[in-house]
Amino acid sequence: GTLVLVATISGNAFNKMAKWVKRDNETGIYYETWTVQASPEKGAETWFESYDCSKFVLRTYEKLAEFGAEFKKIETNYTRIFLYSGEPTYLGNETSIFGPTGNKTLALAIKRFYYPFKPHLPTKEFLLSLLQIFDAVIIHRQFYLFYNFEYWFLPMKFPFIKITYEEIPLPNKNKTFSSL
């Protein structure tokens, strides 16, 4: 990322923004990296929407526009990750899966699935983990999604995953991001 001036606001707008940020932070209680859709085609069913840092930034721009921010004429860029899946199957929450009376077989499968997703591995372990993820997602077409404190099974479909780089213009006084 880069540090660039994107807007100018008044002190009044700043105070409103501070209150909004606190409220948004208290209501956005989960983080989700992936957008899960039925296919990459336009209008495809979206099973789960991502809720990540870039979504926060876009919501912030929308609020700043509402509060009268003067935006510069620049575009902002965002990386998004899409997973493609058939209809997800609800598996349960932490207690129903991992609790004392939980499903031990399912709990073990979920733990095994997430084990290779560890950050900051040496090169050899990283490559091995990448192969394990490839085997689970591409070969066996399985993904266990943790979304808003619940677990879901995703039957993965080709093309399985897509990473996009999207340019999104900043709002102007007459137009805000209405789709967020």
> pLDDT by residue (tens digit) across 134-173?
988 889 999 999 998 899 999 999 999 999 988 888 887 5
Does residue 155 have a cis bond before it (omega within 30 degrees)? Answer: no
* Helices marked H in 28-148: 53-66, 94-98, 104-114, 123-134
The whole-model pTM stands at 0.75
Residues in the chain where the model's pLDDT stays below 50:
174-180
Would you kindly state where each structural domain of the chain is located, as residue ranges? 11-167
